[in-house]
Structure 1
Amino acid sequence: MSYEIDDLPLQTLLPAIGRAEDQLARLDELVRRSPVGNGFIERGHFFDSAASMWVAGELVHMEDLVLHDAHMNVRAPTHELTIAHQILRVRRRIAGGKADWAMSNAGMAFLTGYADQVPEDQPEQETAPSDERSDFGSPDDDDAFAKELASFDAALNQSQQLLDRISNGQKKKDREAIVVGELMIRDPEWDEEDRLTQWKRVLQQTDEVPATLASAVLWDAWDVLEPVQRQHWLGAQLVSANLRARGKVNSHLFGFNVGLKVVPRERRRSSNRTTRIEAFLDAMSASAEAGMKEIARLTQAREQMARRLKGRRSSSSLPAAIDLALSRPLVSASTIAKAAKVTQRGALNLVAEIGLREITGRGRYRAWGIL
């Protein structure tokens, strides 16, 4: 299987390219200048992760994803939730590294599982942005239970890396020697390395193409070639990383899966490549427009909540609760209590003070958010 770039019908695609270029530029500048830019970026990771699963035909509740990320599950995580959290972690890792790291050979090998070790410019353990640590605490907290959990996470991370290295080494030694259990989830004739090589060739061929059109072609090529059997969702994140590497969106890791949700499946899965590429360009415009609306909404909510800080003591827990609410799609009493270092009763008082809306409609395991 191969993917050839023929002459693209620019006359047909130019209107969609122009809209996407304009919307992306406006969003990039708005995120860079907005006081809620950091909160928007962190929320965007959650929204794009859930939207990626939706586009793939799986439903993941945002509440479950937020609580799972905070290690506060109210139920056993499902397979879909685990994948969504993996997407979330990958987005944070790409966003936390250099702009061109994910598109480099080392970065791509690491993300696809073909690297024997973590690249030097990338931390061995997953690190979240600074606001992530301030929201949910860090392993250095005085809380002994948090330290114990951190040690477990470190041990699990090291074990996973060891298993990945053994698995990759086995595949390199003998591609045909596949254990019985792997036959259930892998096609033995699926040559991932060759497909990845072909996709990288398309990446090189689009170097001189405008960033938005190049991203659309790369997305379509990934969808056609399907280089990685068990991580098809990774293509969307690599395409977003390419936008950042080329300097089109410098402020954050753009997420276009939110826009793909509003594009009819008939267009996304059309047999005509021009229709698919145009659909992706429209999805980029839709994602950027949704992002600008989200920033406007967060800015208004921040101004309203900031008024409640007047006359407060410098040691008040209210600012921590406000920062958490701005950086998460939803919050619970437990997450607020952990971020603000108060009791759950105190967290409920903070929720009432900043005026968050209850969005679950339940009597137990309630969650609040900015509506």
Structure 2
Amino acid sequence: MLASVSAKGFIFIMRYETPDPLHPALLPGLIAAEDGLARLDERAARHAVAEGFRERGQFFDAAAALWVAGELVHVEDLVLHDSHMDARAPSHELTIAHAVLRARRRLDLAEPGWALSLSGLNALRGEQGAVPANGGRSEAPDHPPDREEAGEAAVDGEDNPLANEFAELDAAMARSQQLLDFHAGSLAEAASPLSAERMAPERTAEPTGQLGLLFDEDWDEAARLDAWRGVLAAADQLPACLGAAVLFDAWERIEPLRRQHWLGSLLVGAYLRCRGKVASHVLGFNTGLKTIRHERRRSKDRSARLNAFLEAMAVTADLGLKELDRLSLSRTQMEMRIKDRRSNSNLPGLIDLVLSRPIVSTAMIARHLGVTPRGALNLVRELGVREITGRGRYRGWGVI
């Protein structure tokens, strides 16, 4: 069932027709997607560079999610922003890409079916009181929280060392507002009863909910999410890839979240992981979706859209297999360079770092390995990692 909410809050229900998995128009794309994802999952689960493949895929998919939305975010800026080493002030698009990256990491650490549950969706959309993905267990963060993470710790359910300070600031602001309201009411009452009566409605008419400039009050996200979750039962009766395509198509048509529309592509990977089709990692669906033309992704014909989404899964699988081959070859070449090195050398740690990030900087290497910036440059030169930025400052190296 699909639902659409009008501006006056009325919900119109229409039936979502389940596609035939044996339809001649869908069968070739379905077979290609099923076969490609099966091969990718088998190799990614047992490959020597599987950990680096998953970590790098998080960054590439987050940047691709913004590309699909019509925004450009450089992967190197996202890596530096994630390491709190920005070369410049982060843009609004970069902040959104970092939110996508954090959401992907949260899905990767959570149980396979958590993201599709009501509590999981509420947590991902920032609903207060949602159950955290780790079942309520607090985990110490591996790096100090930035301002953005500190402001969202209440909705993410993570341990926030600034929670007490924010609570004290909120309490002080509430006390100040009460004091100002009291004095305003006293002055108005002393001036004239008419003035007091005129000010009373203004204080009570102040909105207590979310700001209308940022949130559309007529856009019922809860009802739209319930309508989208109603498609899960029909998707479970289909093959995994076709069910994921149906869920993504329903997400695009219903549009449950106005400010987090990118979450739908992440839920595709979570659904495939829940079905056991791609159990080794959360599929980077956006990396394949960005190769599909906009006219096909937004076609009025549902069969054309489903074929486009199935092709995006097949392309994602093909790109993933090529990435595994590229990382495996690079690892072999770098290990040949350190074959006769001493046992306490920092070069093996540098290899793991280079394979786990699309780009590494001098400061990242120095902090990760515990060496000086000069020592980091020496390690990079000995390992022979290719420089990919070509800049005098904020130089970066990586595997291409």
Alignment TM class, shorter chain as reference: 0.7 to 0.9
> Superposition RMSD on alpha carbons, in Å?
2.5
Alignment partner, residue 94 of structure 1: 107
Find the counterpart in structure 2 of residue 350 from structure 1.
379
Structure 1: runs of 5 or more not aligned:
129-137, 140-148, 167-175
Alpha-carbon separation, structure 2, partners of 1:71 and 1:51: 21
Specify which of 5, 14, 19 is matched with residue 16 of structure 2.
Answer: 5
Report what 1:66 is aligned to: 79
Aligned pairs for 1:84-233 (under 5 A) are 84-119=97-132, 121-122=134-135, 138=142, 149=144, 156=151, 158=153, 182-233=211-262
Determine the structure 1 residue equivalent to 2:273.
244
Q: Look at both structures and tell me which one has the larger radius of gyration over its CA atoms.
A: 2
Whole-angstrom distance in 1 between the partners of 2:393 and 2:72: 22
Question: Structure 2 vs 1, CA of residues 196 and 327 (structure 1 numbering), >3 Å: closer, same or farther?
Answer: same
Assess, with a 3 A threshold, how the Cα gap between structure 1 residues 157 and 262 changes in structure 2: closer, same or farther.
Answer: closer
Q: 2 CA distance for matches of 1:17 and 1:115?
A: 39
Spell out, residue by residue over 1:74-115, the C-alpha distance to the aligned partner (whole angstroms, 9 max, x if none): 111111001100100010011111111111222122112234
Aligned equivalents of 2:310, 2:29: Cα separation in 1? 6
Q: Which amino acid aligns with 1:105?
A: L
The residue correspondences of 1:282-293 to structure 2 (distance < 5 A) are 282-293=311-322
Where does residue 33 of structure 1 map in the other structure? 46
Task: Find the counterpart in structure 2 of residue 331 from structure 1.
Answer: 360
In the comparison of the two structures, how many residue pairs are matched?
Answer: 343
Distance 1:54 1:153, change over 3 A: closer
Conserved 8 A contact 2:266-2:285: no
1:80 paired residue number: 93
Give 2:160's aligned residue: none
> Aligned partner of 1:45: which letter?
Q
Q: Which moved more, 1:48-57 or 1:310-319?
A: 310-319
Secondary structure of the equivalent of 1:357?
A: coil
Partners of 2:343 and 2:292 in 1: CA distance: 47
Whether the 8 Å CA contact 2:120–2:130 is kept in 1: the answer is no
Percent sequence identity is 51
Any conservation in 2 of the 1:331–1:367 contact (CA below 8 Å)? yes
Do structure 1's residue 302 and structure 2's residue 331 form an aligned pair?
yes
Q: Indicate how the Cα distance of structure 1 residues 340 and 195 shifts in structure 2: closer, same or farther if over 3 A, else same.
A: same
Q: Displacement, 1:310?
A: 1.6
Partner of 1:143: none
Answer whether contact 2:45 2:280 (CA < 8 A) is retained: yes
* Per-residue deviation, 1:34: 0.7
Whether the aligned pair in 2 keeps the contact of 1:3 and 1:225 (CA below 8 Å) is no
Going from structure 1 to structure 2, the CA distance change for 1:5 and 1:153 (only over 3 Å counts) comes to closer
Give, in whole Å, the separation in 2 of the partners of 1:265 and 1:153: 32
- Give the superposition deviation at 1:185: 2.4
**2:19 is aligned with what amino acid?**
L
Query: Matched residues in 1 for 2:233 and 2:153: separation?
Result: 34
**Residue 55 of structure 1 contacts residue 261 of structure 1 at CA under 8 Å; is this kept in 2?**
yes
> Using a 3 Å threshold, how does the CA distance of structure 1 residues 364 and 52 change in structure 2: closer, same or farther?
same
Q: Shift of the alpha carbon at 1:326?
A: 0.2
The residue number in structure 2 matching 1:259 is 288
**Counterpart in the other structure of 1:132:** none
Is the Cα contact below 8 Å between 1:3 and 1:221 reproduced in 2?
no
For residues 244 and 310 of structure 2, the distance between their equivalents in structure 1, rounded to whole angstroms, comes to 9
1:330–1:3 CA distance, 2 compared to 1 (3 A): farther
- Look up the SS of the partner of 1:358 in the other structure: coil
**What whole-Å deviation, never above 9, does each CA across 1:51-78 have from its counterpart, x for those lacking one?**
0000000000111100011111111111
Distance of aligned partners of 1:154 and 1:125 in 2 relative to their CA distance in 1, 3 Å threshold? farther
The C-alpha deviation readout for 1:98-149, integer Å capped at 9, x for no partner, is 1111112221221122341433734576778xxxxxxxxx45xxxxxxxxx4
Distance in 1, Cα, partners of 2:331 & 2:376: 18
Q: What is the deviation of 1:314?
A: 2.0
Residue type at the aligned position of 2:40: L
Counterpart check, 1:52 vs 2:62: no
TM-score for the superposition, normalised by structure 1: 0.86
TM-score between the two structures when normalised by the length of structure 2: 0.80
What are the superposed Cα offsets for residues 176-229 of structure 1, whole Å, 9 maximum, x if unpaired? 985698222222211111100000001122111111000001001001111011
Q: Distance in 2 between matches of 1:45 and 1:58?
A: 17
Contact preservation (8 Å) 1:16, 1:282: yes
